[in-house]
Amino acid sequence: MRTAHVLATLVTSSLLSLALAAPAQAASTIDYVALGDSYSSGVGAPGQSGSCMRSNTSYAAQWASRNDPASFQFLACGGAVTDDIVNTQAPAMRSGADLVSITIGGNDAGFAPTVITCLTSTDSACAAKVNEGKAYVANTLPGKLDAAYQAIRAKAPEARVVVLGYPLLFGTSSLICEMSIAKRRSLNSGAEVLDAMIKQRAEAAGFVYSDVRDEFSGHGACTSRPYINGLTIIPPQNSYHPNSSGYTNGYLPAFSGSAA
């Protein structure tokens, strides 16, 4: 019995010594800033609040919750365009950010009016509206993106900046959907053109581009397990934005894989 007691005491003492000797987990020193539009603020997910419709279910808020950065500035705002980055969001950044995420460009290219046209008009009218957006992306958006990225770099010269793209909105195999297959294909083709330009300008700026289309593949609106809301009446802004699964299983892993 005495031998067993001595052994137990030795084991306990050894474990305690190891615990005391183990270094404490270092606190995060990352200062993280989330910029951008509704796809970064969390529109489409529960818990939106304020005029910018920010949600704790957004990929940005989820990443901050899981990684406990030293500071987190949540500046993304529903409806934002590139000029908002230049004039409002980038100037509001605290100096010294280490990590920045952003989605931007969709509203510049006419996301909302294009979707409305496709919902309410013919296949040909939808295609024409998408083509207008493609022309804007080719001719005007590059300069707008460059200005936004330059504003970010000027405020955070050492930061790792992750530019996330947009998913294809629709699955195109199901016949049951509020839009025809032709309209869905038109809108998806617009997203592909937009993503290609965002990638080009992000990489030209020295930023990291993260393509989210793989994470959303097979999970567009009008699929059996959508990561994107279809037409939503209440609240209407949720229409064609990621749902909770889209932010958690789509955007969050796409960002997490590029943040380090």
Q: Where are the domains of the chain?
A: 29-259
Rg of the chain on CA atoms, in Å? 23
Whether residue 9 is predicted with pLDDT greater than 60 in this model: the reply is no
Q: What is the pLDDT confidence band of residue 95, given thresholds at 50, 70 and 90?
A: confident
Could you report the per-residue pLDDT of 206-257, keeping only the tens digit for each? 999 999 999 999 999 999 999 999 999 999 999 999 999 999 999 999 999 9
Q: What is the pLDDT confidence band of residue 25, given thresholds at 50, 70 and 90?
A: very low
Could you report the per-residue pLDDT of 162-185, keeping only the tens digit for each? 999 999 999 999 999 999 999 999
Burial 49-70 (b: 16+ CB within 10 A, else e): eeebbbbbbbbbbbbbeeeebe
Q: Which of 55, 101, 239, 241 is catalytic?
A: 241
Q: What CATH architecture applies to the domain 29-259? A: 3-Layer(aba) Sandwich (3.40)
Q: Which of 5, 38, 95, 244 is catalytic?
A: 38
Q: What is the predicted pLDDT for the residue at 27?
A: 52
Residues above pLDDT 90, as percent of the chain: 88
Q: Does the annotation mark 241 as catalytic?
A: yes
Burial 159-168 (b: 16+ CB within 10 A, else e): bbbbbbbbbb
Could you report the per-residue pLDDT of 211-223, keeping only the tens digit for each? 999 999 999 999 9
Q: What does the block give as tokens for 160? A: 């790792």
As a three-state string, the secondary structure of 188-244 is: HHHHHHHHHHHHHHHHHCCCEEECCHHHHCCCCECCCCCCECCCCCCCHHHCCCECH
Q: Does the annotation mark 5 as catalytic?
A: no
